Amino acid sequence: MKIPLSSPDITDVEIEAVTAVMRTPRLSLGPQLEAFEAAFASYIGVEHAVGLSSGTAGLHLCIRALDIGAGDEVIVPSFTFIAAANAIRYEHAHPVFVDIEADTLNISPDRVEAAITNRTRAIMAIHTFGIPAQMMKVLEIARRNHLAVIEDACEALGAEYGGRRVGSFGDAAVFGFYPNKQITAGEGGMVLTHNAKLAERIRALRNQGRYHDEEWLQHAELGYNYRLSEINCALGLAQLKRIDEILRLRTQVARMYHEHLSQVSGLVLPAMTTSDSLVSWFVYVIQLDETFTVADRDQIVERLKAAGIGCARYFAPVHLQPSYRGWRSSSALPVTEAVSERTIALPFFNRITEDEVTYVCATLRSTLSELHRD
């Protein structure tokens, strides 16, 4: 078998929606963008949504629109995709890395509290792998210290915390539509906010700094080309209409993995449920227990790949990346560094079959057994 790590779920409905846009003269900043933004805002439960070219662009514009700049600090976990920290650096602010919780792999509120200084301007709470962060604790810390909260919900569309969908808690939230996400627009992202002025500024910044009431070639401030095309929006809107089906399929895949692997010794599986939240399955990431070394993990990954199974080491800590040498000593991150040496993301997508999951799990079990015999 050849099983990819991820694969988009595109149906004839999406293809027809994209084709219909191609027959129109409006390919940018048109009705599909407006419809996608409105539907997305309604789904999350906020007033304003702004479509952008990527989730990274969304994170960047949140930092800029909140006037976070040179010398300011933003608290962020290191156990995440590098875009979260990069967006902070784009505005010459400083990412301050804090450790994660061992059970959820999300930012630790206790570590956040300890990392605040007189230069801290915001907390970036990331819903890692679709598991909601402890937003009530994060928001309470932010309120006491007069800090902004940015939710990085790029991996968590449809997840809920305390009965509310993630993306509705912070001053701003960001979603991404890369092909491995719950829904895809090919590329793209969306910023959500309850703040009308913040939304207006982000709309201007995505379009070279031009506000809607200005002449076409008049630009009030430095902006960017972070527009999302009508083609992307048509695809994303069609996918969003299928969101309940998509989330159901992904939950079924997670349950299949759980049933196959729950009795395998040496593995720590992601929790299927939590007491106060609803998981939106972005990936299925297992952890090896402490009887395995990082060399064992890497050998397992290579053997799975040799068997035609797409897998990955999710995540390599940001503070240990070559481009972040200057931030390596920002704080001690023992949980982040220990977890990152034991994680393996298994193939995960809507239409993976039970036979494929069975093959992945059987190959993983045999590989673990061989390593124990060795």
Mean pLDDT, residues 172-180: 98
What's the pLDDT score for residue 373? 61
* Residues 322, 248: Cα–Cα separation, whole Å: 39
pTM: 0.96
What's the pLDDT score for residue 215? 82
- Say if residue 315 is preceded by a cis peptide, omega within 30 of 0: yes
Residue type present at position 56: T
Q: Does the pLDDT of residue 309 top 90, yes or no?
A: yes
Task: Tell me the β-bridge partners of 165.
Answer: 160
What's the pLDDT score for residue 269? 98
181 is catalytic: yes
Sequence ranges of the domains in the chain: 12-240, 243-373
Beta carbons of 175 and 167 less than 8 angstroms apart: yes
Q: What mean pLDDT value characterizes the chain?
A: 96
How deeply is 127 buried, as exposed, middle or buried, from its count of CB atoms within 10 A (0-12, 13-18, 19+)?
buried
* Pairing label, strands 120-126, 343-346: unpaired
Please identify which of the residues 2, 137, 181, 305 carries the catalytic annotation.
181
Q: Does the pLDDT of residue 326 top 80, yes or no?
A: no
User: What six digits make up the tokens of 113?
Assistant: 């509290």
* Residues 280, 102: Cα–Cα separation, whole Å: 19
Q: What is the pLDDT of residues 23-56, one digit of tens each?
A: 999 999 999 999 999 999 999 999 999 999 999 9
Q: What is the CATH number of domain 12-240?
A: 3.40.640.10
Q: What is the pLDDT of residues 51-89, one digit of tens each?
A: 999 999 999 999 999 999 999 999 999 999 999 999 999
What's the pLDDT score for residue 332? 83
DSSP classification of residue 5: S
The architecture in CATH of the region 243-373 reads Alpha-Beta Complex (3.90)
What's the pLDDT score for residue 52? 98
- Say if residue 169 is preceded by a cis peptide, omega within 30 of 0: no
